[in-house]
Chain A
Amino acid sequence: METATHLSIRGIAKTFPGRRGWTDRLLKKTSPDFVAIADINLEIPPNTFVSIIGPSGCGKSTLLSIVAGLLPPTQGSVFLGDRPLTQPGPDRGVVFQNYALMPWMTVAENLHFALETVFPTMSLAERKTRVYEYIELVGLKGAERKHPHELSGGMKQRVGIARALAIDPQILLMDEPFGALDALTRGFLQDEVERIWEQQRKTVILITHSIEESLLLSDQIVMMTRGPAAGIAELLTVDFPRPRQRADLDQYPGYHRLKARLEEHLSRETRAIEAARVR
């Protein structure tokens, strides 16, 4: 039976139209349509952590934007339970790659803005409690009144995660959230996300480049083929027991098999992209 938080991606395709108008033709500036992703089908059961991994430019972020409702698909639809998702909405919390904090708002104000937008009738006292609770959850107690430019990249992304979680979405969408961070901070935040996820167990879709990251965090890994017309190559199930520790990740049975599989896929796709570029 499908529950209300079962996410279903059905036949999603996205084509970015090229320039073909008569003015473009007159100026000889036409360009062909670009098929970013073609026919993606994915069923995500509730409380599942899913990573989407694939070579650069394979349309991972396009897919996430479609699920977020920020980009309309050319074909297909996304359902949350039996409700089609066509608009952005607070049932999905989004964590952006470049944090996307409002620089004129303090840490607390960024969270207040989100809560006030989603729950306009919530009392100020309740909102304050909630803001404080989530700032504490991501370990930023004491930084409430700082502006984003006073924070490190890792701290900014904690605020981004707190903001996405504070509105209590059914699904958390993360678009390469640690891509802009240095390796140490990235590892540290991955551990934090693992810890937070153990507490909240929301459905998460994480776009990533990192094999380690996907193995540490996910229940399922979606491997995408290279673009154009990217699709799903294979689904991997990661059934390591939780909570997981980075240090003994490679002790779990199957770790090396999964890692080799992911590495093989990614290097094959990346090599093909490079080869296509040379030609």
Chain B
Amino acid sequence: MAVEKLTPASLRLSEDQKALLVTLAIALVLIGFWEWGVSQKMFLPIMPSATDTAKEFWFWISNPFFDNGPNDKGIALLLMVSLRRVLSGFAVGSLIAVPLGILVGLSPIMSKAVDPFVQILRPVSPLAWLPLGLALMRDSEATALFVIAITSIWPTLANTKFGVSHVDPVYVQVARTLGASHWRIILKVILPAAAPSIVAGLRISLGIAWLVIVAAEILLSGGIGYFVWNEWNNLKITSIITAILIIGLVGLGMDRLFGLLERWVSFGQRPPTE
């Protein structure tokens, strides 16, 4: 621990405040270099200036709900398409992954039996499933859901299995000495005990689903991913940078929500992903 210096309390900054100052300084330097570089024509002419990008950013977030036809929609409408796909696909994937994870977590035989399938399918990029989805379903909406569902399965499955198989055996012993049935032990003991791991898995799955939807939408149509690609075709770099920032902020927001949920189910134990 550092030696405390005798400074008046009003002048002392907490660690968080210092970190914030450094963050702001880095942002200032980067944006300053960007603005200065464009004015000096250091980059290719297509590169917009920071101020132009900021204006564009403001245009998109100050007017998020306009709808001028299929290729000209407000950012909120675009996000809603992507979020709807991600959340429905994530829901379907989770409804498969959580029960399956519980099953393989409880039964070593099922775990070993299912493992080869998981091991082979998990390293596959979710986008590889996209043509298969299109071929089978002939519908971009259903294909997006299919790809996101598959994406959402693996982290949740692995974490649920880990959480269920690593429940402190003493909790199960307590329930057994009380004469609890198997179902009661699973529902009242194993699931709550594994909840922090399960939620951590869901959190990772949702994060990856949000990564994948942008790529999937470039290949399908609609949503924020398609917007990014469309603006590239229009050579509107300012819109692309705006979209990148907004995609990041939305991802951050979803991650924080799951972080709260994780904290809520952890009861004094350290949540698994912190």
Contact = CB atoms under 8 A, between A and B. Distances in A.
Contacts of B184: 117
B170 A149 contact: no
B193 A102 contact: yes
A53 interface: no
Interface stretch (B118-126, B130-138, B175-183, B227-235): B175-183
Interface residues of A, number: 26
B116 interface: no
B64 interface: no
A180 to B, nearest CB: 13
B8 interface: no
A256 to B, nearest CB: 38
A102 B178 contact: no
Contacts of A98: 170
Contact of A70 (B173, B188, B189, B269): B173
B177 A70 contact: yes
Majority-rule SS of A interface residues: loop
B193 A104 contact: yes
Which of A103, A104, A113 is packed against the most chain B CB atoms within 10 Å? Answer: A104
B177 A149 contact: no
B269 A88 contact: no
Contacts of B171: 100, 102
Interface in B155-200: 170-171, 173-180, 184, 188-189, 192-193, 195
A265 to B, nearest CB: 30
B177 A88 contact: yes
Given A117-B179, A117-B180, A100 B268 contact: no
B237 interface: no
A172 to B, nearest CB: 11
B117 interface: no
A98 B173 CA distance: 12
A96 B173 contact: yes
Interface of B: 170-171, 173-180, 184, 188-189, 192-193, 195, 265, 267-269
Interface of A: 68-70, 87-90, 92-94, 96, 98, 100, 102-105, 113-114, 117-118, 147-150, 167
21 contacts: A68-B177, A69-B176, A70-B173, A88-B173, A88-B176, A88-B177, A88-B179, A89-B177, A90-B178, A92-B177, A94-B173, A94-B177, A96-B170, A100-B174, A102-B192, A102-B193, A104-B195, A117-B179, A117-B184, A147-B268, A149-B269
